[in-house]
A and B are shown apart, each in its own frame.
Chain A
Amino acid sequence: EVKLEESGGGLVQPGGSMKLSCAASGFTFSDAWMDWVRQSPEKGLEWVAEIRSKANNHATYYAESVKGRFTISRDDSKSSVYLQMNSLRAEDTGIYYCTNAMDYWGQGTSVTVSS
């Protein structure tokens, strides 16, 4: 059974930083392309970032709205993917989901950026 479990969300002030983690199981993590997607009432579902497998040189891609502020990374030895979020803005508020190339999704972790 595929499982994706996000953690690390919470309340942060504008301009602050936060790191999200996602622990995966039930599939060959090292071969998987992993994504972060967020959801808010204002913007709906929005793709955030992708990191590809070692075979694809762990290439990373970002939505324009987060480029230069967010960093996606992975640790294949821990079957985990991360999202480092810096210079957070109110519009980054939402539920952040970890997905394996959009096939399976975790339950999400809530991020609120507010003073």
Chain B
Amino acid sequence: DVVMTQTPLSLPVSLGDQASISCRSSQSLVHSNGNTYLHWYLQKPGQSPKLLIYKVSNRFSGVPDRFSGSGSGTDFTLKISRVEAEDLGVYFCSQSTHVWTFGGGTKLEIK
């Protein structure tokens, strides 16, 4: 299976700061159809994961534009500009190019 490695494990931030989370895959996520199926989720305490970004850089319905995704091949980044209190929780990257796998998560918390 494809291993997804996220860094950092924990990310203390001040409200209003920019936050950046990295995700690296053990093999290329470029599908034979040319698409790259790398996605980002946010899980708030006591809730299920919610889709934020799909296929590297596409914001899901209702997701604010302060969230952005980038990357290619095996290296990907999620950026949150101007962190708000509602953004706190655990962020997961995930790939579905191969058998679906998830990263271990990055906890975004208040500094």
Contact = CB atoms under 8 A, between A and B. Distances in A.
Interface of A: 35, 37, 44-47, 50, 63, 97, 102-108
Which secondary structure dominates chain A's binding surface?
strand
Given A97-B48, A107-B48, A102 B99 contact: no
Interface string B79-111: 000000000000010101001111011000000
Interface in B45-71: 47-51, 54, 60
Nearest to A107: B48
Chain B contact-residue range equals 10 to 19
B39 interface: yes
A1 to B, nearest CB: 11
B48 A106 contact: yes
Interface in B15-71: 39, 47-51, 54, 60
Nearest to B60: A103
